[in-house]
Chains A and B, each alone.
Chain A
Amino acid sequence: GENVEQHPSTLSVQEGDSAVIKCTYSDSASNYFPWYKQELGKGPQLIIDIRSNVGEKKDQRIAVTLNKTAKHFSLHITETQPEDSAVYFCAASIKGYGGSQGNLIFGKGTKLSVKP
């Protein structure tokens, strides 16, 4: 079945450094790749997403890159701040049929810690 692998599972960086989280997906028909941030006790919150017709997207300190040939995509956070500390999840859409089109498969998450 479809699968999304996410690495690393934990990441610790110094404030001001960059952080990179990588995901690979198995379904070549996947065309939508969101990233979610989950703070303690809260639900996942969408921070950025990218579609398969775009190779890179940036929003202030956050960027996502997509390599369709290699079937991997990455989240880049620059100038990290303590408030960036959270668990980050990547996801990929599955092709599916009918109502299952657009269902998401999630990676297992990366716990990012930003040290002041």
Chain B
Amino acid sequence: NAGVTQTPKFQVLKTGQSMTLQCAQDMNHEYMSWYRQDPGMGLRLIHYSVGAGITDQGEVPNGYNVSRSTTEDFPLRLLSAAPSQTSVYFCASRRSDGLGAQPQHFGDGTRLSIL
């Protein structure tokens, strides 16, 4: 199994450009999420989804959009990139079976620089 796959691994954008970070998982997990990781800040939740067609905001959602049309995919869109969005982005997935919190599986990240 590939687990959680993120593409691209690296990206450089100019301020104002838009782009989509891709995330796919092959574990049939209901729950998927996006985090950003900044130096000294740990991991902060951007958006999450508990199933196809259902998304919600996390701690730092401004400037990002998500959608979930399939169980496998959960893309993150930057509509108009800003230098403050320079970060490492991680996608994660886990089961969501009503039995409480479950272990999350992370991808290897997308390193995004905005000039």
Contacts and interface: CB of A to CB of B under 8 A. Distances in A.
Contacts of A6: 42
Interface in B74-91: 90
A32 B100 contact: yes
Interface of A: 6, 9, 31-32, 34, 36, 41-46, 49, 51, 89, 91, 93, 98-104, 106-109
Contacts of B104: 34, 46, 104
A41 B108 contact: yes
A32 B99 CA distance: 11
Contacts of B44: 106
Nearest to B91: A43
Nearest to B6: A43
A46 B43 contact: no
B41 A102 contact: no
The secondary structure that dominates the B interface is strand
B26 interface: no
Contacts of B41: 108
A56 B90 CA distance: 29
Chain B, interface size category, equals 20 to 34
B42 A99 contact: no
A95 B14 CA distance: 39
A44 B101 contact: no
B101 A104 contact: yes
Interface core residue of B42, B56, B101 (most chain A CB under 10 Å)? B101
Contact of B101 (A32, A41, A106, A109): A32
Contacts of A91: 43
Interface string B93-115: 01010001111111111000000
B109 A43 contact: yes
Contact of A103 (B4, B42, B48, B105): B48
B103 A49 contact: yes
Given A42-B108, A99-B96, 19 more contacts: A31-B100, A32-B100, A32-B101, A34-B104, A41-B108, A42-B109, A43-B4, A98-B50, A99-B48, A99-B49, A99-B54, A99-B56, A102-B31, A102-B96, A103-B58, A104-B104, A106-B35, A106-B43, A108-B41
